[in-house]
């Protein structure tokens, strides 16, 4: 079994600093100025550390795009080439993927987000199955494991012949529109990927068949009435969370993280540092699952970092969702980047689904 590895070193850097992605040199430069640092290699190690003894050969690209990680894991990969310069970009990802076609891998594993998935798919088409280790800010494609560990387990089971291949959507969104608060997703194509339903991301559902505005309004009324004086409320993205700020007559950013205290908006589209600076003795996180995927932490809200979550505490995390959306999703998921914290958050949590009703949901 020959497996290719491509890492996009800058994937996900913009998340905690509130940039919602790192596409483009200007955005990357801004992320670094805000204190962002690379996380993709650590995500790859989380996925691959259990595969050190797997019966497989690895092929990769030089330095931070795969070679460094595999050598840290004690493996001896075949290195097909190196990045063209000290900075890596789309061209390097495409070049690496095209080079792998010459050595006929059974699977190409990549670490990144939707943009990296599009680049790899564009280079190899459906000739080789691909699988993503999630590391980007946004992941709407169905070719990713739910978490790095899930990706590793899926690779292991693929090597063992226990995972079939399925044709899955590769999506991407317009980052500039996303930063302005508009979600514009586009289908870029299809790829074959190892598939076990419990280990891969659901393809993003963007359409609901019923008008849930009245239900969201009722949820918003309940949460607004229960908000505690002097407490900080960290408001996640999404229209269900926005129903709360609508009740308070506040203008929330739909896709950003905002801060509310005593009925006032004290922070708009903040990053991790902005959240930490405002935290006091009593803090709450208000979040809603990402439609189709069921993610409550780690997808599109990386500003709510592990440090923020630990300071808030599990008991002060408020999850809101309509009952219809919750039923469509099933199990909710967390992928904060801190495996210990993810384990602490697993189990069951209450979800507010109407003015007078909560449901228990499983967190994985």
- Low-confidence winner among 51-60, 136-145, 353-362 (lowest mean pLDDT): 136-145
pLDDT band (50, 70, 90) for residue 22: low
pLDDT of residue 330: 79
pLDDT: is 301 or 213 the higher one? 301
Structure tokens at 293: 């995927």
Contact criterion met (CB below 8 Å) for 116 and 170: no
Give residues with Cβ within 8 angstroms of 229, minimum separation 6: 262
- Low-confidence winner among 13-27, 53-67, 96-110, 344-358 (lowest mean pLDDT): 13-27
The pLDDT of 261-282, averaged and rounded, is 96
Kindly tell me if the per-residue pLDDT of 141 is higher than 80.
Answer: yes
| Alpha helix positions (H), 160-200 | 175-179
Kindly tell me if the per-residue pLDDT of 11 is higher than 60.
Answer: yes
pLDDT of residue 197: 84
Structure tokens at 345: 């958050």
pLDDT of residue 324: 85
Kindly tell me if the per-residue pLDDT of 276 is higher than 60.
Answer: yes
Contact criterion met (CB below 8 Å) for 274 and 259: yes
Nearest to 287 by CA among 221, 349, 209: 349
Residues forming beta bridges with residue 273, ordered by sequence position: none
What are 118-139's pLDDT values in tens digits?
999 999 999 999 999 998 777 7
pLDDT of residue 198: 83
pLDDT of residue 31: 58
pLDDT of residue 52: 81
What are 71-83's pLDDT values in tens digits?
999 999 999 999 8
Q: What mean pLDDT, rounded, does the chain reach?
A: 87
| Rounded (10°) CA dihedral 334, 254, 224, 361 | -20
pLDDT of residue 290: 82
pLDDT: is 324 or 350 the higher one? 350
Whole-structure pTM value: 0.67
What are 171-218's pLDDT values in tens digits?
887 666 565 555 666 788 889 999 998 888 775 544 444 457 888 999
pLDDT of residue 26: 63
pLDDT of residue 312: 97
Nearest to 158 by CA among 56, 40, 86, 63: 56
pLDDT band (50, 70, 90) for residue 15: low
Structure tokens at 303: 């500003």
Kindly tell me if the per-residue pLDDT of 146 is higher than 70.
Answer: yes
């Amino acid at each position: 079994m020959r497996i290719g590895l491509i890492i996009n070193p800058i994937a996900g850097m913009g998340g905690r600093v509130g940039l919602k992605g790192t596409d483009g040199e200007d955005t990357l430069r801004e992320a670094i100025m805000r204190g962002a640092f690379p996380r993709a290699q650590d995500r790859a190690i989380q996925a691959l550390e259990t595969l050190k003894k797997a019966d497989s050969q690895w092929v990769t690209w030089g330095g931070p795009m795969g070679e460094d990680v595999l050598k840290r894991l004690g493996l001896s990969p075949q290195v097909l080439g190196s990045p063209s310069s000290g900075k890596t970009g789309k061209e390097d990802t495409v070049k690496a993927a095209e080079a792998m076609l010459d050595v006929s891998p059974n699977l190409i594993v990549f670490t990144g987000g939707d943009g990296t998935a599009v680049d790899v798919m564009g280079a190899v088409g459906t000739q080789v199955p691909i699988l993503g280790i999630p590391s980007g800010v946004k992941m709407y494609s169905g070719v990713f494991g739910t978490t790095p560990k899930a990706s590793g387990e899926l690779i292991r089971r693929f090597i063992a012949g226990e995972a079939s291949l399925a044709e899955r959507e590769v999506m991407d969104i317009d980052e500039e529109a996303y930063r302005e608060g508009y979600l514009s997703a586009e289908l870029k194509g299809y790829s074959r990927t190892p598939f076990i339903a419990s280990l891969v991301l659901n393809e993003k559902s963007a359409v609901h068949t019923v008008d849930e505005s009245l239900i969201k309004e009722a949820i918003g009324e309940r949460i607004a009435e229960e908000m505690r004086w002097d407490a900080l409320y960290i408001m996640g993205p999404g229209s269900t969370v926005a129903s709360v700020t609508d009740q308070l007559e506040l203008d929330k950013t739909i896709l950003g993280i905002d801060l509310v205290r005593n009925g006032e908006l004290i922070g708009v589209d903040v990053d991790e540092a902005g959240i930490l600076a405002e935290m006091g003795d009593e803090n709450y996180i208000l979040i809603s699952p990402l439609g189709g995927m069921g993610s409550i932490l780690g997808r599109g809200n990386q500003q709510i970092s592990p440090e923020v979550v630990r300071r808030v505490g599990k008991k002060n995390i408020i999850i809101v969702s309509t009952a219809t959306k919750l039923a469509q999703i099933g199990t909710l998921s967390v992928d904060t980047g801190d495996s210990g914290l993810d384990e602490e958050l697993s189990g069951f949590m209450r979800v507010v689904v109407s003015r007078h009703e909560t449901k228990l949901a499983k967190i994985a």
